[in-house]
Chain A
Amino acid sequence: MSDKKYMVQEFVAVDAGKILETVKDIKDDGYRLVQICATKKDGYIEMLYSFDKDHILKNLKINVPENEEIESISDIYWAAFVYENEMHDLFGVKFRHLVLDFGGNFFKVSEPTPWNPKDKKERK
């Protein structure tokens, strides 16, 4: 493999229902959770989970329809609570079984879910 490990780009699409078993396998393989990111799309949120092993990233992509819940991975990677609370507070992504749930108070934003305006209108 080239020395430029950062050039390796692995994006794998995963079904939202299989997130827990996939992440469990990844953890058993010795990967570290690097980040979770949300992108607002038309009618759904695209979630990107990144894991690292030996300086190479593996990225899982999951599409979550608006107003649907997704399983939290914080029971597998406790550190995920930081990212999941952030996604909840900024995008309104709802997580089931989040081990440390701040209930929308992790980010002190003046409006709920500022990066997902549609969700905001619905709440109003």
Chain B
Amino acid sequence: MGKRTIIPFGPQHPVLPEPIHLDLVIEDERVVEAIPSIGYIHRGLEKLVEKKEYTEMVYVIERICGICSFGHGWGYCAAVEGAMDIKVPERAEYLRTIWHELGRMHSHLLWLGLLADGFGFESLFMHCWRIRETVLDIFEETTGGRVIFSVCKVGGLRKDVDAETLKKMSTQLNGIKKELQELTDVFMEDRSVKNRLCGIGILSKKEAEELCAAGPVARASGVVQDIRMAGHGKYLELGFEPIIETKGDCYARCKVRLREVFQAIDIIDKAIKEIPDGDIIVPFKGNIEGEFITRMEQPRGEAVYYVKGQGSKFLERIRVRTPTNANVPAMVKTLQGCDLADVPMLVLTIDPCISCTER
């Protein structure tokens, strides 16, 4: 048995866009144990519920994360709408589905770029982010924002998108498919990329279930778990089926996200074809009395939104459980026994979002 040492990983590290700290217990270049600690960017956003009316909290919840902000806004609105039994117009549900899938493309392309940068393939990183710009441009044209969108509100949406813009969106997205395919070929076929990802950080289906993993991390291990199947938005009407891989390694997690980018384009295309005319917002009155819990499939996995009110315009409690919360145990377990050199890849393939986790 070699000598044990502890190597601190983070909170500042080249592969970490956000701060998480891991104490890595090392024995002969092999990780024996990983002890995580967070809290460097804890903002206490949930606590603001005491000062902001429940209709204003949408802006706060959207700011939990700068990448999946639309999904957070939708998740919170869906929880309030569920608690108050508000029926959102069909057109709004379609538009929410479209924007949510755009958010998934934006998030996955950002992550793919970070992964490429993590294993030292800088041109691949730049190509991923270049393609992502098209998605951000679409966001800007349709919502007015590139990071925080503020289009979702309780009862529907603040902005509509005309038929011409939707048609243009479809053309733009199908236009980047060829470039995405070229990127996919590099990620999936390049020898140097495969050397860094294949067989690394294997999480078996049993482990993923046991550790309650979420999102692409669970789906890459063969777990059929995707909250889009629970009836939110228009996913079921659009014939949504989750993307599953079975190998459970870093390569499988990368493959799931790549396939989900293509799937998002298909979902958006179909939604644009089927979107009905009509209102985008429904009027409502009153305050929340009671509680409601709902979930949203964010790009990183399942997010939970719990709202509880006592009949006043201020809620008693909002709880947001983000996907990284659920994936920390899986990350800690897969780190055990891995080589020190593989730690950055392993941490990255969980796609940790610390701003979300700490809120």
Contacts and interface: CB of A to CB of B under 8 A. Distances in A.
A45 to B, nearest CB: 11
Interface stretch (B97-105, B191-199, B226-234, B338-346): B226-234
Interface string A1-16: 0111111010100000
Nearest to A39: B317
A44 interface: no
Interface stretch (A17-25, A63-71, A105-113): A105-113
B146 interface: no
Contacts of A34: 212, 295, 302, 304, 321, 326
B90 interface: no
B57 to A, nearest CB: 16
A69 B294 CA distance: 29
Nearest to B292: A9
Interface residues of A, number: 35
A72 interface: no
A90 B176 CA distance: 45
A79 interface: yes
B191 to A, nearest CB: 36
A79 B212 contact: yes
A15 to B, nearest CB: 20
A50 B227 contact: no
B39 A107 contact: yes
A120 to B, nearest CB: 14
Interface in B14-70: 37-40, 42, 44, 47
A65 B180 CA distance: 55
A39 B50 CA distance: 13
Contacts, number: 94
A43 interface: no
Contact of B42 (A7, A32, A82, A108): A108
A55 interface: yes
A57 interface: yes
Contact of A55 (B47, B227, B326): B227
Contacts of B319: 35, 37, 39, 48
B37 A81 contact: no
Interface in A25-59: 32-35, 37, 39, 48, 50, 55-57, 59
Contact of A32 (B47, B209, B328, B358): B209
A95 interface: no
Given A6-B232, A33-B212, A79-B326, A50 B316 contact: no
A57 B230 CA distance: 11
A39 B316 contact: yes
Nearest to B306: A37
Nearest to B213: A79
B210 interface: yes
Contacts of B308: 39
A7 B231 CA distance: 9
Interface in B262-302: 291-295, 302
Nearest to B212: A79
B325 interface: yes
Given A5-B229, A48-B306, A79-B212, 4 more contacts: A34-B304, A37-B306, A57-B293, A79-B211
10 contacts: A6-B230, A6-B295, A32-B212, A55-B227, A57-B295, A78-B210, A78-B329, A79-B329, A107-B358, A108-B40
Interface of B: 37-40, 42, 44, 47, 78, 82, 209-212, 225, 227, 229-232, 236, 291-295, 302, 304, 306, 308, 316-317, 319, 321, 325-326, 328-329, 358
Interface of A: 2-7, 9, 11, 32-35, 37, 39, 48, 50, 55-57, 59, 77-79, 81-83, 89, 102, 105-109, 114-115
